[in-house]
Structure 1
């Protein structure tokens, strides 16, 4: 798409910091900050485009068996990772920004961008846990409309102006200064989600799209819709199309990695992943099967050395 890279870039959602049963490995339950940092540094050294962390303030008891209650705060985590990495970008995937006033969100993430030397990518989404919204006094039923306005407010509050201004139905502010400003003149804002409203929001308001686990066969139609929406509205400029791949394991595991896992020789894996680029995807988010931290770091290294050079 517009602004596409020559080759397919790749990022990773970090382990440990969120532990939904949908994707967490068993070893993560006993892991902690040292493991998180070691994996982040390995991805940084290996040339990964971004590190991603998630966002939930509080998980209701009814969802805890599936989601777990382990969700590190994204701002604190990204700030910590900024200090222990050198070049990799720092992505919130995704921040549920409707839970907070946009001036609070802007203050937090502008500081992360400032401290990291301009490495922030702000990924935002509508959220899905009603109890979380209710506990924080946020409007769950209108969360889509609130997110639309919040994006506009964040564009102003994360822009170059020391005294940003926004006048909307939900939020209204002017004459209030915030420094430090972000290091980037325009912080990339990617929109997450795969529902029709989320895809539309990404196309018209975002600098990129983060699908919510769409299978491969759904991606071409979603990407085509984004292109059509942007063309119809005359929206120009760089736009990043993301995708979350199947779980990966480079080589032959010798243990059961799951039937959905893409595994085998590096060229086999690369050939399969190149199909994403053919669809119009710019960046893939990968996640590796592993039994411990060491195996995960080995997989990160093997991917970077043996698979990534074959993605062109």
Structure 2
């Protein structure tokens, strides 16, 4: 298995120093991936969940590429329709070159209508825009002189530079739990990246992905879920316990369940987001330290980052 960490690029405690600390610490502990998330505007609806500083994800990745050397970096997830695809293609290609080819491009359609309104983008067309923008981005990553005439983007004879370090462009991870996300992952030879899924939701997605892939005569996409990380001293009640929440033994059991589904990559998110029960109102320095402690405990008691194995005791 490969293991990753969702690095908080938001909150009262966020700073260049803390981003560096999280990324270098994740690299030191042997994690394979470090991912940041995305909000481009913070209208009232977004502030209900993220009321404090929020660093722009591409700028954060540029910083992280300069302070790390081996860990893969990426987005979980960038909201595609909120930025012009020419800008996105060049930004990601540039960061991929700067990082030596270590970028994973996690994308999603977003779900906050106020954020779309603030940026003058039609929320109702976000799915169609995402499909078209992904086509534009991957064509630009191929390099050369590119022209495109679509419903949402049109340009003639652009020189597409730089070409990403990774041939064909960074791997594309598609967030979302609905069938369109699976379809996009299959269409772009990508990975399905559900955020905070349940086992039932994963099983349904795996079945749907197999059917969609078979109908197109292609392999089913890989799966890389982002799950919570909250370690308790004692076991929590079942059922209804989220993946990644509970005692060392319970979380180890969760990981064995995921491994049994041939899931090869898991991203852990240690942040108590405000939309979780009993979450703190602010990501203070104390909260940031508590979250990092959970990552340290994960690496020492539950997983073996060197061997990609699960070492915690199971129930």
User: Normalised by the shorter chain, which TM-score bucket?
Assistant: 0.7 to 0.9
2:302 match: 307
Structure 1, 104-113 or 295-304: larger mean CA deviation: 295-304
1-structure distance, mates of 2:203, 2:94: 36
Counterpart residue number, 2:2: 9
Paired position in structure 1 for 2:151: 169
Preserved CA contact (<8 Å) 2:43 2:118: no
Q: Which string of whole-angstrom CA distances, capped at 9 and with x for unpartnered residues, describes residues 191-243 of structure 1?
A: 1111232233223335111113221221111112112211111124x833011
Q: CA RMSD in A?
A: 2.4
Distance, in Å, in 2 between the alignment partners of 1:211 and 1:239 is: 12
1:70 Cα deviation after fit: 2.9
Partner of 2:10: 18
Determine the C-alpha separation between the residues in 2 that align with 1:197 and 1:205.
12
Secondary structure at the aligned position of 1:118 is classed as coil
Question: Compared with structure 1, are the counterparts of its residues 136 and 293 closer, same or farther at alpha carbon in structure 2 (3 Å cutoff)?
Answer: closer
Return closer, same or farther for 1:245/1:65 CA change in 2, 3 Å cut-off: closer
Q: Is the 8 A contact 1:163 1:176 kept in 2?
A: yes
Paired with 2:14 and 2:103, the residues of 1 have a C-alpha distance of 25
What is the CA deviation profile of residues 129-183 of structure 1, one whole-angstrom value per residue up to 9, with x for unaligned ones? 2222223222211110111111111111122x23234343322334211322211
Indicate if the aligned counterparts of 1:102 and 1:157 stay in contact, CA closer than 8 A.
no
Contact preservation (8 Å) 1:188, 1:207: yes
Gaps of 5+ in 1: 1-7, 20-28, 254-258
How far 1:51 sits from its partner (Å)? Answer: 1.1
Q: What TM-score, normalized to structure 1?
A: 0.83
CA–CA distance in structure 2, aligned partners of residues 164 and 306 of structure 1: 50
Question: Helix, strand or coil for the counterpart of 2:101?
Answer: coil
1:252 maps to 2:233: yes
Shift of 1:62: 4.0
Displacement of 1:69 after TM fit? 4.6
SS of the counterpart of 2:224? strand
Give the C-alpha shift of residue 188 in structure 1. Answer: 0.7
Cα distance between partner residues in 1 of 2:105 and 2:164: 12
Three-state SS of the structure 2 residue aligned to 1:232 is: helix
Residue 59 of structure 1: how far off its partner (Å): 1.7
Instruction: Specify whether residues 55 and 297 from structure 1 end up closer, same or farther in structure 2 by C-alpha distance, changes over 3 A only.
Output: closer
Q: Would the alpha carbon gap of residues 30 and 71 (structure 1) be closer, same or farther in structure 2, given more than 3 Å must change? A: closer
CA distance in 1, matches of 2:247, 2:47: 34
Structure 1, 174-183 or 95-104: larger mean CA deviation? 174-183
Relative to 1, partners in 2 of residues 1:222 and 1:210: Cα closer, same or farther, differing over 3 Å?
same
Question: Take 2:288 and 2:124, find their aligned partners in 1: how far apart are those partners?
Answer: 40
1:57 alignment partner in structure 2: 40
**2:303 aligned counterpart, secondary structure:** helix
Spell out, residue by residue over 1:12-59, the C-alpha distance to the aligned partner (whole angstroms, 9 max, x if none). 1112x134xxxxxxxxx2442212211111101112121111111112
In structure 1, the partner of 2:224 is 242
Unaligned runs of 5+ in 2: 235-240, 273-285
1:104-127 deviation line (CA, Å, top 9, x unaligned): 111111110010000111111111
Q: Does 1:82 align with 2:47?
A: no
Deviations 1:76-127 (A, max 9, x none): 0000000011111111111112112211111111110010000111111111
User: 1:100 aligns to what?
Assistant: 83
